[in-house]
Amino acid sequence: MMQSRPLKILMPYPQLPTTGQLLLEGGDHRIALNPETGLNKYGCGPLPNPKLLAFGSSTASTISEPGFAAADHLRNRLSDDVLSSSCEEIYDRELDRIRRELLTLCGIDSLPGIEAVIASSGTDLHALVAQYARRYGSARTRIIMMDPDETGCGIQAALGHQYPCPVPSSMHHMDSGLLVLTVRLRRMDGKPRPQNEVDGEVETLVNHAIRQGERVLLIQLDVSKTGLLAPSLACIDHLRAQFADHLDVLIDACQFRIAPASLLAYLQRGCMVAITGSKFLAGPSFSAALLIPKEVADPLRHSIMSPTSGLASFSTTEWPLSWKTANKPKPAPNFGLLLRWEAALEEFRVFSTVPENAIVHFLHTFARCIQQRLADDPLFEPLPVLPIERSSTLSEETWDDQPTIFPFLGFHAPYKLPLNREETAWIYRSLLLGSGQGNDASCCQMGQPVVCGLHNEIPVSALRLCLSAGLIVEGTADNGKHATSVIDRAMDALDRIKYLAHRV
């Protein structure tokens, strides 16, 4: 993991890097810009692009104009503050402010004992939780995660204690005292496995591990790259009722497509929840947080205070201020992380003001139009997904049981021959570079292709058209008068894919 660059303050005229430069600092190689394209690995630049068709939030987003303005305002304030305070003091103060506002916007700030650990990425958080799961040194720890194709590409390696070095997804046995098992969410034909089948496999694996004297870290996906939730909430409740003393549960909500009521329900059950500001919120890549209920926060705090704890080595993790200890090396202030979270929080502030019924209405309208287009157009086929089931936990309808990710396959015309993975990847890259139809050179972001089995014996991947918080804010503004504009841009994005499919 690339460490944040120490901020060198030259007196008497302190100067911070520009906002655009800071947004690229304190992450890793994935946010470094390609000198040929000016984009990072995810196809994003450090500056707003108002002409962009931005439907790729399940992977990453280019910073919006309001997000950049918020980050720029914070950068200017930091530049003034370094005249009278040290970078370390400023960093701790601002990070604590961001932490407190995040808990408030999530609607969980009144939950007794709730804590938030800030980190650069969701991958960092998975590595942290895996280390925490090993706190009982005498017991072997078994980790059960959902389909690697449906989560972050580095998650399995991070859980196996081989982070940041990537390993093949087929390598399950890690030489670290950890055994990482995976549960597939789709069949070879790309169709989702039935929920009871996935739940049954998870319960079997957990039962077997605990009866073998092992501890278990179970990771639920809420939601996956293609919009799946697994295992079910009922499955988690059943397992916690049986094995609470031998089971840790992490909710991988790094997509952050989750309403406050659902988030609160997880935390009240004693589950840790990993979120990011760079997916649904559409902030720039590399801003993450681990939300921790009191029953986990207390033992975690005690663990990092131990001089022999492996948790002290997480120099990219920002613990709550009250957890600071002398034995833990203090990382250099990561002002890039501050600015990225500030941009994400700006999106969150506005989204949190939108009434729930307005969000649900817009999501229904958008889904109906997109699903109809994908079903009617011979060059597309929607990838099947299961309904997001939250009714066992929540007594009221929330917006997060509606789809906001729309995965689909592309086809050649006129023979209904599916595009293979290489062809789909070419279309994805071409969209990012503005290779659209006609003379319009504007760019289009879609979710990166996701491997989803075979179709007519051809290995295929699904592209993803995604709604972000910002698009929902736009679509619900002025009593929904702008919904048509968002839908029209989504149709434009699909037209561009169709245009490129004819040219593969």
Q: What is the pLDDT of residues 169-179, one digit of tens each?
A: 333 333 445 68
Check if the beta carbon of residue 96 is closer than 8 Å to that of residue 321.
yes
pLDDT-derived band at 234 (thresholds 50, 70, 90) equals very high
The H helix count followed by the E strand count for the chain is 14, 15
Q: Residue 159 pLDDT > 90, yes or no?
A: no
> What distances in angstroms separate CA 235 from CA 216, 247, 275, 347, one per listed residue?
15, 13, 21, 33
Q: What is the pLDDT of residue 4?
A: 43
Q: What is the pLDDT of residue 15?
A: 79
Q: What is the pLDDT of residue 77?
A: 96
Q: What is the pLDDT of residues 336-353, one digit of tens each?
A: 999 999 999 999 999 999
Q: Residue 19 pLDDT > 90, yes or no?
A: yes
DSSP 8-state symbol, 13? S
Instruction: Report the distance separating Cα 103 and Cα 99, nearest Å.
Output: 6
End-to-end alpha-carbon separation of the chain, Å? 37
Residues linked to residue 173 through DSSP beta bridges, in sequence order: 179
> pTM for the complete prediction?
0.92
Task: Give kind and range of the element (H or E) at residue 491.
Answer: helix 483-501
Residues linked to residue 454 through DSSP beta bridges, in sequence order: 459
Q: Residue 307 pLDDT > 90, yes or no?
A: no
Q: What is the pLDDT of residue 392?
A: 54
All CATH 3.90.1150 domain ranges in the chain, comma separated: 354-501
All CATH 3.40.640.10 domain ranges in the chain, comma separated: 93-348
Least confident segment among 7-16, 88-97, 213-222, 408-417: 7-16
Average pLDDT of the segment spanning 57-81: 97
Tell me the three state secondary structure of residue 402. coil
Angle between helices 65-81 and 87-105 (to 10 degrees): 140
Instruction: Report the distance separating Cα 331 and Cα 314, nearest Å.
Output: 9
Check if the beta carbon of residue 285 is closer than 8 Å to that of residue 42.
yes
Instruction: Report the distance separating Cα 437 and Cα 421, nearest Å.
Output: 22
Instruction: Report the distance separating Cα 474 and Cα 480, nearest Å.
Output: 8
Q: What is the pLDDT of residues 380-435, one digit of tens each?
A: 999 999 999 886 555 577 899 999 999 999 999 777 899 999 999 999 999 998 86
Residues linked to residue 53 through DSSP beta bridges, in sequence order: 444
Is the pLDDT higher at 414 or at 36? 36
Q: What is the DSSP string of 72-98?
A: HHHHHHHHHHTTTS-HHHHHHHHHHHH
Q: What is the pLDDT of residue 157?
A: 85
When the pLDDT of each residue in the chain is averaged and rounded to a whole number, the result is 89
Query: In the CATH hierarchy, which fold is given to the domain comprising 93-348?
Result: Aspartate Aminotransferase; domain 2 (3.40.640)
DSSP 8-state symbol, 276? E
Neighbouring C-beta atoms of residue 338, cutoff 10 Å: 25
Q: What is the pLDDT of residue 166?
A: 40
Q: What is the pLDDT of residues 357-370, one digit of tens each?
A: 999 999 999 999 99
Is the pLDDT higher at 172 or at 152? 152
How many percent of the chain have pLDDT more than 90? 74
Task: Give kind and range of the element (H or E) at residue 497.
Answer: helix 483-501
Phi first, then psi: what are they for 276, rounded to 5°?
A: -135, 160
pLDDT-derived band at 180 (thresholds 50, 70, 90) equals very high
Q: What is the pLDDT of residues 442-496, one digit of tens each?
A: 799 999 999 999 999 999 999 999 999 999 999 999 999 999 999 999 999 999 9
Is the pLDDT higher at 394 or at 38? 38
Domain 354-501 has CATH 3.90.1150: yes
Task: Give kind and range of the element (H or E) at residue 418.
Answer: strand 417-418
Place of tokens 């601002």: 94
* Residue burial 355-368, b: 16+ Cβ < 10 Å; e: rest: eeebbbbbbebbee
Instruction: Output the furthest CA–CA distance in the chain (Å, rounded).
Output: 70
Q: What is the DSSP string of 363-397?
A: HHHHHHHHHHHHHH-TTEEEPP------TTT-SS-
Closest C-alpha among 124, 44, 28 to residue 343: 44
